[in-house]
Structure 1
Amino acid sequence: MTFDRRDAIKLAGLSALALNAPATLAAAPRDKWGRGYENQRIPDLGNGTFRNPVISGDRPDPAVLKDGTDYYLTFSSFDSYPGLTIWHSRDLVNWQPRKAALTRNIGSVWAVSLEKHKGRYFLYIPVKASPNDIYVIWADHIDGPWSDPVPLGLHNHIDPCHAVGEDGSRWLFLSGGDRVRLSDDGLSLAGKVEHVYDPWRYPDTWDVEGFSPEGPKIHFHGGWFYMITAVGGTAGPPTGHMVIAARSRSIHGPWEQHPGNPLVRTKSVGEAWWSRGHASLIEAPDGSWWSLYHGFENGYWTLGRQCLLDPVEWTKDGWFRMTGGDLSRPIRKPRGGTALRHGMALSDDFSAPLALGSKWSFFRPAPDEAKRLRVDGGALHFAGKGAAPSSGSPLLLIAGDTSYRFECDIEIAPGGTAGLVLFYDDKLYAGLGFDEKRFVTHQYGIERGRPANPHGRRMRLRVTNRQHIVSYHTSGDGGQTWQRFDRGMEVSGYHHNVRGGFLMLRPGLYSAGPGEAVFRDFRFEALPG
């Protein structure tokens, strides 16, 4: 039996345009990042250069704020709560998570605007709910406490961007080229939605998901207001999503299209990063300029849209351009600033309060979901809910490596079920769990094989995800010896272009049925490749 490149493309779920690409699926080297906690890849190469992504895993729609010598960044968190974790950097390359700004479930959180105005921090938050709306929360310190969300009554728009006009007026720019005026305190509307900009249109021969003008970002620089917009659809064909720009001398327009549109676009499925878009501009400590945006890693839609950093050059005519090319190669870091230790450990010995929001999060939780959790004596006590991961709000992590394994000691209550999962959403997940008599195999979002469980109510489970090939191991003696479970999986199709939802495949824990499951010594390790 032969296996050629055409077969590989089919297995990855790619469109027919890949057949004409000159490069292989693994166009970018996957073994040349720096390494941090638990061998996780990090951007800083330690030699004055960095490699994208700057924050790996599902970090879509980056909203960045420069606050003196500090930089703060957050991302769409969709159905994960606590959500809108704030990340901190002093050099734009090395980032640390701080605290989650949003703790109450108000719906699926899309692209936000993070701003500071007259000493106060604001987050403008679009949600998909019943009805859809845009909320605002505020705080006097970046770590909170943040206010309770206030709905603005904007039911037909997404992707707000806060902007201040030359006359001090406050505005939200919205999807579709619209805007609305805000009150002086930024907490309510002071006018009606109006259409102010018709985005640049790409040739109709390009393969895109749809026009979808979204993610406007307003920046004032050198006497101009610049509006950066995403068009082409955020997923779908790898060549769809792109970055365009326009400018105006006034916040009120008229807007002049950038002569070089689009500024960023994936042109071939062989490039290292697909569907690049939703860009912001930011000034580095050394006065250089950069753009943060998101993209899918070649062949890894399962990791979601990852955060990318692209150098920016201002041109003599007052425009700008991105200079990082396809971002497949190392890039010289901006100078100045202090390099923080990047990322965080994902392992957890449960000896301290659970890091909800910064590390762990629930999927689509009920208002009292956190009451299911109790940390005591080096163990996480996780009350059961529902009958399976689909009905039980699992506890999840964001893992940003293409290969990794995770394991945990699990003890179940009589009648209970618990285990480890790779979870996209409540309709699409994989994993292995057990009750006191049988295993339960989770495949394609359903519960399948039920072989006998020889270990009883306590065992150690391990899940290995090596470039989408998943294997399971079990141990009845605390991990001294392991037995391979007789069921493997391939999960490259567990992603948005199959299921929708704009999510990623995340490792985690679940507890179902009566009583509490007790989780001890959770370990995570990134693997080569």
Structure 2
Amino acid sequence: MTLSRRTALQAALAGAAVTPALAAPKFAAGIEGQRKADLGNGTYINPIVAGDHADPTILKDGADYYMTFSSFQSYPGAVIWHSQDLVNWTPITAALHQPIGTVWAMDLIKHQGRFYIYIPVLQDQGTGTYVIHADDIRGAWSAPIDLKLPGCIDPGHVVGEDGRRYLFVNGGRRVRLTDDGLATDGALEENAWKPWQYPKDWVVEMFAPEGPKLFRRGEWFYLISAVGGTAGPPTSHMVTVARSRSVHGPWQDAPNNPIVRTKSASEPWWSRGHATVVEGPAGDWWMVYHGYENGFRTLGRQALLEPVEWTQDGWLRAKGGTLDRPLPKPRGGKPSKAGFALSDDFSSGKLGLQWAFHAPAPDEAKRLRFEGKSLVIKGKGKALPDSSPLTCACGDRSYEVTVELEITGEGHGGLALFYEERGHVGLGFSTTQMLTYGYGQEHGWMRQSMTTKNVHIRLTNRENVVTWHYSHDGGKTWTQHSWQMEVSGLHHNVFGGFVSLRPALFSAGSGEVRARNFTYRGLPA
């Protein structure tokens, strides 16, 4: 890349977030200073699960609630979270370990005592849909089973009034399942439901009818779906409702559609949509969906909770407004644990739920070994972009990460903020040089001769402004790197991919990197 093109790209990235960020909302500090939804006074502030937690699908199972999110190219994936009050959530397991493609909006359900996750994926040959199942939600989960549904995404499971099982998918289509839910039973049906059409002059991304989620209440089946596109303009996404007395239709649209939509770029949450509706602990009703935080698309689409109510004529009405202020917590739920520590001293001997490989090969886990209180990562690829870095999703506007690294062999490794192969920044070390990654490339002109075996690296991200420090004397003295980076443009509207900018450990080349004492803490506004 020429210097002029590089400068132009950097300028474009730096200017990508054109709307000023709102003042930081009040939130309770949780584990390691991470933002926490529960304010401790009977109210909560969104998000309920901060960071990259898109396309939430939620299951009520007695007093317990379980939720999972799109995991895209991160494996282990389909991490399942647990709560008993809908506000405080903690992860309990990863259900998907075998790479099958880029995982999009799933549906987590329970049928006749067995748990199922219906999983749409993007593969080289197009889209497909898989299913996994388990008798215990904590696992073990089965291997993925291909339902052979090319061209379909966003499956939504429902049992009809006829007792048969169905998957509704994007574009208004549906397919019947076998009784065990592990195969299709017939052809894909077109025009099974007609997505609601918004006014032509609305500013959205595209029509994109998707995300059907179905449930039955009384004599009605309700179908919650999204239109408008999940990114693009802040006013793109939305939540719509339709109902029918039969899964076979006809479906009628809610007179108050869309029941949720971002109407202005001045609102705190952008592109709100893709909802699942669930009954609360006290019998009231709630809706979980996702949205981008104003000015922080780098954090990905975050999980939001909004109260809803039933009108006298049997339709849903959203009650949360723009989610710009605290809301009363759901009544009747038992106190739940919230969040989990992202720091890792690697003493457990296994990969924690905070970690996931980006775009791994089927045998990627063989690159890792645990030795005492350290994680050894065998090198892969030639540089950060093709190294399948080990990423850690976080949800704070500002945070600090430190790690101790030992470099051996012919390669290099380090600490990065990684969106995808073309979008990342990072600091790496070989045994002879310090390498700098900025805006998607390693800048050879910034290489600095530096004999290194052991190095401490510190990354500080303050509202998308990144500062690097490194130490060669065990963290006693620190040197600030000369390049501070503005990263607000490293997000979906620049690169696609729907994900977030995540702290990452990487090891490239033919050597190894030994990591110790990975620490994370959220920073106050």
Calculate the TM-score normalised by the size of structure 1. 0.95
CA distance in structure 2 between the aligned counterparts of 1:414 and 1:392, rounded to whole angstroms = 16
CA distance in structure 2 between the aligned counterparts of 1:138 and 1:521, rounded to whole angstroms = 35
Q: Deviations over 1:272-326 (max 9, x none)?
A: 0000000011111111100000000000111000000000111101111110000
TM-superposed deviation, 1:12: 4.8
CA distance in structure 2 between the aligned counterparts of 1:386 and 1:11, rounded to whole angstroms = 28
1:436 equivalent in structure 2: 431
2:519 equivalent in structure 1: 523
Maintained 8 Å contact 2:403/2:518 = yes
CA distance in structure 2 between the aligned counterparts of 1:11 and 1:225, rounded to whole angstroms = 47
CA distance in structure 1 between the aligned counterparts of 2:509 and 2:60, rounded to whole angstroms = 47
CA distance in structure 1 between the aligned counterparts of 2:17 and 2:206, rounded to whole angstroms = 17
1:37 equivalent in structure 2: 31
2:256 equivalent in structure 1: 260
Instruction: Kindly report which structure 2 residues correspond to 1:365-380, keeping only aligned pairs within 5 A, or say none.
Output: 365-380=360-375
Are residue 328 (structure 1) and residue 328 (structure 2) matched?
A: no
Instruction: Kindly report which structure 2 residues correspond to 1:462-481, keeping only aligned pairs within 5 A, or say none.
Output: 462-481=458-477
1:452 equivalent in structure 2: 448
1:88 equivalent in structure 2: 82
CA distance in structure 2 between the aligned counterparts of 1:473 and 1:345, rounded to whole angstroms = 23
CA distance in structure 2 between the aligned counterparts of 1:417 and 1:325, rounded to whole angstroms = 49
Instruction: Kindly report which structure 2 residues correspond to 1:101-116, keeping only aligned pairs within 5 A, or say none.
Output: 101-116=95-110
Maintained 8 Å contact 1:468/1:491 = yes
- Which of 162, 173, 177 is equivalent to 2:172? 177
1:65 is paired with a residue whose SS is strand
CA distance in structure 2 between the aligned counterparts of 1:31 and 1:158, rounded to whole angstroms = 35
CA distance in structure 1 between the aligned counterparts of 2:471 and 2:173, rounded to whole angstroms = 57
CA distance in structure 2 between the aligned counterparts of 1:196 and 1:376, rounded to whole angstroms = 55
CA distance in structure 2 between the aligned counterparts of 1:308 and 1:150, rounded to whole angstroms = 31
Maintained 8 Å contact 1:36/1:42 = yes
1:197 equivalent in structure 2: 193
Instruction: Kindly report which structure 2 residues correspond to 1:229-308, keeping only aligned pairs within 5 A, or say none.
Output: 229-308=225-304
Are residue 57 (structure 1) and residue 51 (structure 2) matched?
A: yes
Residues 9 and 133 of structure 1, relative CA distance in 2, 3 Å threshold: closer
Maintained 8 Å contact 1:438/1:450 = no
Maintained 8 Å contact 2:13/2:489 = no
2:16 equivalent in structure 1: 13
CA distance in structure 2 between the aligned counterparts of 1:12 and 1:151, rounded to whole angstroms = 43
- Which of 154, 164, 168 is equivalent to 2:163? 168
- Which of 205, 218, 236 is equivalent to 1:222? 218
Are residue 397 (structure 1) and residue 392 (structure 2) matched?
A: yes
Residues 319 and 31 of structure 1, relative CA distance in 2, 3 Å threshold: closer
Q: Deviations over 1:446-488 (max 9, x none)?
A: 1004443445221101111111111100111111111101111
Maintained 8 Å contact 1:238/1:269 = yes
TM-superposed deviation, 1:342: 0.6
2:350 equivalent in structure 1: 354
User: What letter is aligned with 1:298?
Assistant: N
1:371 is paired with a residue whose SS is helix
Maintained 8 Å contact 2:407/2:413 = yes
CA distance in structure 2 between the aligned counterparts of 1:528 and 1:147, rounded to whole angstroms = 42
TM-superposed deviation, 1:221: 0.9
Instruction: Kindly report which structure 2 residues correspond to 1:202-213, keeping only aligned pairs within 5 A, or say none.
Output: 202-213=198-209
Q: Deviations over 1:200-228 (max 9, x none)?
A: 11111111110000000111112211111
CA distance in structure 1 between the aligned counterparts of 2:179 and 2:343, rounded to whole angstroms = 45
Maintained 8 Å contact 2:435/2:448 = no
1:126 equivalent in structure 2: 120
TM-superposed deviation, 1:11: 5.0
Aligned residues with identical type, % of pairs: 54
Gapped regions of structure 2 (runs ≥ 5): 1-10
Residues 10 and 371 of structure 1, relative CA distance in 2, 3 Å threshold: closer
Segment of structure 1 superposing worse, 454-463 or 414-423: 454-463
CA distance in structure 1 between the aligned counterparts of 2:313 and 2:13, rounded to whole angstroms = 46
Maintained 8 Å contact 2:13/2:488 = no
User: What letter is aligned with 2:139?
Assistant: G
CA distance in structure 2 between the aligned counterparts of 1:150 and 1:419, rounded to whole angstroms = 37
2:448 is paired with a residue whose SS is coil
TM-superposed deviation, 1:110: 0.4
TM-superposed deviation, 1:416: 2.3
Maintained 8 Å contact 1:455/1:476 = no
CA distance in structure 1 between the aligned counterparts of 2:471 and 2:257, rounded to whole angstroms = 56
Residues 187 and 10 of structure 1, relative CA distance in 2, 3 Å threshold: closer
Calculate the TM-score normalised by the size of structure 2. 0.95
Maintained 8 Å contact 2:209/2:226 = yes
User: What letter is aligned with 2:76?
Assistant: P
Maintained 8 Å contact 1:434/1:453 = no
CA distance in structure 1 between the aligned counterparts of 2:428 and 2:304, rounded to whole angstroms = 36
1:465 is paired with a residue whose SS is strand
Are residue 485 (structure 1) and residue 485 (structure 2) matched?
A: no
2:6 equivalent in structure 1: none
CA distance in structure 2 between the aligned counterparts of 1:351 and 1:227, rounded to whole angstroms = 46
CA distance in structure 1 between the aligned counterparts of 2:416 and 2:17, rounded to whole angstroms = 25
CA distance in structure 2 between the aligned counterparts of 1:208 and 1:301, rounded to whole angstroms = 17
Work out the number of aligned pairs and report it.
512
CA distance in structure 1 between the aligned counterparts of 2:409 and 2:166, rounded to whole angstroms = 57
CA distance in structure 2 between the aligned counterparts of 1:77 and 1:452, rounded to whole angstroms = 37
2:475 is paired with a residue whose SS is coil
User: What letter is aligned with 2:213?
Assistant: K
Segments ≥4 residues shifted beyond 6 Å: none
1:22 equivalent in structure 2: none
1:497 is paired with a residue whose SS is helix
2:385 is paired with a residue whose SS is helix
Gapped regions of structure 1 (runs ≥ 5): 1-7, 19-24
User: What letter is aligned with 1:118?
Assistant: Q
1:412 is paired with a residue whose SS is strand
Are residue 419 (structure 1) and residue 422 (structure 2) matched?
A: no
Are residue 364 (structure 1) and residue 364 (structure 2) matched?
A: no
Alignment RMSD: 1.5
CA distance in structure 2 between the aligned counterparts of 1:502 and 1:40, rounded to whole angstroms = 23
Are residue 315 (structure 1) and residue 311 (structure 2) matched?
A: yes
